[in-house]
Structure 1
Amino acid sequence: MHREYAVDPESLRDYASLRTLFESFISSPSRLIADCPKNWHREVLHIINQLRDEGVGPNRRKGLKNHLQKLYRTNVCKNRSVDPWSRQARWLIYAEQEHEKAAFDAILSSGTPADPDHPVYPLDELFFNSPGCWHEPNQAHVKRLAPEIVAQALSMLRVSKRIILVDPYFWFTQPRWGNYRPLLVEIFKVIGDLNFNQGARKLEIHTSDRHANAEGFLRSHVLPLMPDGMLVQCKIWPKAEMHDRFILTDVGGVFLGQGLGEFELSADEEVLVGVLERETFRKELAKLQREPIESPAIES
C-alpha cells in the first residue's frame, strides 16, 4: 500500500511541475518520497527560490515553500542510506545507481534512463503513463490470515525502522494466543528485509491483556520465534483506552478493522486493511508515548 518514489529535483523547473508534485503527494498518505539525496527538500527549496516564472510573486513563492514544508513533514521517507550526489552527473544517473542497491517503487524524472528496464516515469505525464502501483487503492479486503495481512503492510514495513502492533485483544493466553502467533511468525520471516534490507531490530506490541504473566510468556512463547539480535517489548494499557487495531511504523500506518489475529473459525473471513491518513497516524502514534501500566521486554 505504501510506495516509495525517487523524485528528480532537476525535473522541477517551473511552477507547473512543482504544483504537480505537491498535488500528487500531499493528499496521498501512501505515496512516500525518498530522501535522495539526503536533504532532498533543500534541492527543491533552491529551485523555488530561483523560480523566474511569470506570475510567481512573493505570495505564490511563499505558498510553494509552505507546501514543501508540509511535504517534507508528511511524505518524505528519511530512512534510506544513500551516497552523496556529486552533481557532476545528472540526478537520474545517481538515482539509478541507488535503485540498483535498493529498489525504488518508481523513479519520477523527465530524463532518459541509462537502463531502459529501470522504472522511470515523467512526473508531468503520470496521468497517462504511470507505474502500476501509482493508482493502487488505499484500502482492501483480504483474508484474515497472517500471510495476507503482512503482505498488505509489507511495502510499508520494508522502508521502516520501527514496527508497532496495536490490538487490545493481542493476548498471551489461550485461545487468543493461537490467533496472534502466526502474525509474529510471518513478521519474523521477513524481518531481515525491512529497513532497506538492514533489518528491523525492535518490535512493540501494545495490548490490554492483564490476565497473563506477559514477561514470562514472552520468554516462553515469543523468544523461541525471534531471530537473533531482536528486541520485543510489550506495553500493556487499560482496556478502556484501547479500541482500534493498527500496524504502525515510523513512516506510516495501516488500520485493520477486525484486528491483527487470524480468524479461527473460517479461512474465508476477511479483514479490511487501509492506509491511515497522516493526521490520524500522528495522533495514534502520539497516544503510545504515554506511560503504560507495564512494559516488559525481551532480547534474543
Structure 2
Amino acid sequence: MMWGEFAVEPDAIASSFERFAGLIDRFGVDQGRLISDFATGSWSRAVLEAADASDFGELGMASALERLRELRDARGIVKAGRVYQDLPGGWLANAAAEDARQPFHAVISEAGGSGCVGDCAAINARSDRAPFKVDGFADVPRLAPDIARAAAPLLRFARVVHLVDPHVSFTQGPMRTGDWVRPLAALIRGCQPNSAVTIHLLQRPDKPDTGTFIAAARQHLRPSLTQGATVHLKRWEERVAGQQFHDRAVLTDMGGMTFGNGLDEGPQGSTVHIQRLDATGWARLLTKFNPATSPYQLADDLVL
C-alpha cells in the first residue's frame, strides 16, 4: 500500500516543538501518510491546544498553525467517516476502538500500547521501519481488480480524478476493448460519489471519429458511474515537433501515481510497475492536462 491513514495522538505530536517539527513534515499525500482527522472535534485544534499546554511559545505556536494549515490545504489531514466515541480512557482508547471497527495503517501515540496491529510509539516513528514506513512503489498484477485496489487509497479521498493513458480505446474489438474497459470501470467505481473524473487519451488520424468514439465509450462505461459522478473524455493531439504524449497515470486533486505499462489489463501473469508521485512530479504532470498549460492541443472534450 502506497498510502496509509494514520491516527496520531495530539498530545504525542505536540509534546514539544521539536517533536512536532520532526513529525509533521513527514505527513502528506506525496509521502504516502495521511493524518486522520480523529479527535474530539477537530484534530488540528486538539494539536494546537496540546501545543499551547506544552508551551511552544509565540513563534512556535505561529509555526505550528501555519504548518497545520499547509497540511490541511494539501489534503494531508483527511476525514474518512471515522467515529470518535468519547469512550473512557482518552484518545488512545478511542483510537483502539475505532481501529477495531476500521483499521488505521498505524496508531501513533506517546507510549504506544494501543493493541493495534500498527501500534507505534511516537519516538519510534521512523520512515524506514514499519508501521511508519509506506512504500513509494509496487509491482501489481496487471488485472482490473489489482489496478483499482492499488489506486483505492488515493481515490478514497479525491474529489477530482484524472485517468491518463494515450492508448485508451473502446473500439478495438471485444477482446482488446475489454482490456481497457475493465480497469477504467473499476477505477471509476472506486471514486467518491459526486467526484469529477476525466479520462485523457491521444487522438491520432487513424482513431475513430467523434461520434463512433463517444457512442462506444458510453456503451461500455456508463454502467460503472458512481452516484453523481461526472466523466469527461479529453482527446489530445501532439503538436508538430512537440512533446510526445506517453504518460500513464492516475492523478487527483490530492496527489498521483504513475503506471509503467498503462491502465489496461495485460496477459495472465504480467505485472505493472506503479509509483507514487512526489509533490513536484504530481504538479508538473497535472499541468500537461490543463488546456492553458498543456504541451498538447485539445482535440475535443466529451461528456460520457
Fold similarity call, TM over 0.5: yes
1:140 aligned partner, one-letter code: A
**Which runs of structure 2 are paired with 1:13-52 in the superposition (5 Å)?**
13-25=15-27, 29-37=31-39, 39-52=42-55
**Do the aligned residues in 1 keep the contact of 2:137 with 2:273 (CA within 8 Å)?**
yes
Tell me which residue corresponds to 1:207: 201
Tell me which residue corresponds to 1:296: 302
**Which runs of structure 2 are paired with 1:50-89 in the superposition (5 Å)?**
50-52=53-55, 64-74=64-74, 76-82=76-82
- Paired with 2:128 and 2:248, the residues of 1 have a C-alpha distance of 36
When residues 85 and 18 of structure 1 are mapped into structure 2, their CA distance, relative to the original with a 3 A threshold, is farther
Structure 1: runs of 5+ lacking an equivalent: none
Tell me which residue corresponds to 1:147: 145
Aligned with 1:256 (options 253, 259, 265): 259
Instruction: Note the alpha carbon deviations across 1:89-112, whole angstroms, 9 max, x for none.
Output: 723344445545644222212266
Instruction: Note the alpha carbon deviations across 1:51-103, whole angstroms, 9 max, x for none.
Output: 43xxx776666555554444334462334245678799723344445545644
2:286 aligned partner, one-letter code: L
- Paired with 1:143 and 1:203, the residues of 2 have a C-alpha distance of 24
Tell me which residue corresponds to 1:91: 91
**Which runs of structure 2 are paired with 1:142-291 in the superposition (5 Å)?**
142-174=140-172, 177-187=177-187, 191=190, 195=192, 199=193, 201-209=195-203, 211-212=207-208, 213=211, 214-226=213-225, 230-240=229-239, 242-263=245-266, 266-290=267-291
1:273 Cα shift?
Answer: 0.6
1:168 Cα shift?
Answer: 1.6
1:275 Cα shift?
Answer: 0.3
- Pairs aligned (count): 285
1:24 aligned partner, one-letter code: R
1:246 Cα shift?
Answer: 0.8
2:232 aligned partner, one-letter code: Q
- Paired with 1:297 and 1:273, the residues of 2 have a C-alpha distance of 28
Matched position secondary structure for 1:296? strand
Bigger Cα displacement from structure 2, 224-233 vs 279-288: 224-233
Pairwise CA RMSD: 3.7
**Do the aligned residues in 2 keep the contact of 1:253 with 1:276 (CA within 8 Å)?**
yes
Q: Give the TM-score, by structure 1 length.
A: 0.75
Q: Give the TM-score, by structure 2 length.
A: 0.74
Identical residues among aligned pairs (%): 25
- Paired with 1:26 and 1:157, the residues of 2 have a C-alpha distance of 15
- Paired with 2:288 and 2:42, the residues of 1 have a C-alpha distance of 29
**Do the aligned residues in 1 keep the contact of 2:184 with 2:263 (CA within 8 Å)?**
no
When residues 204 and 9 of structure 1 are mapped into structure 2, their CA distance, relative to the original with a 3 A threshold, is same
Structure 2: runs of 5+ lacking an equivalent: 293-297
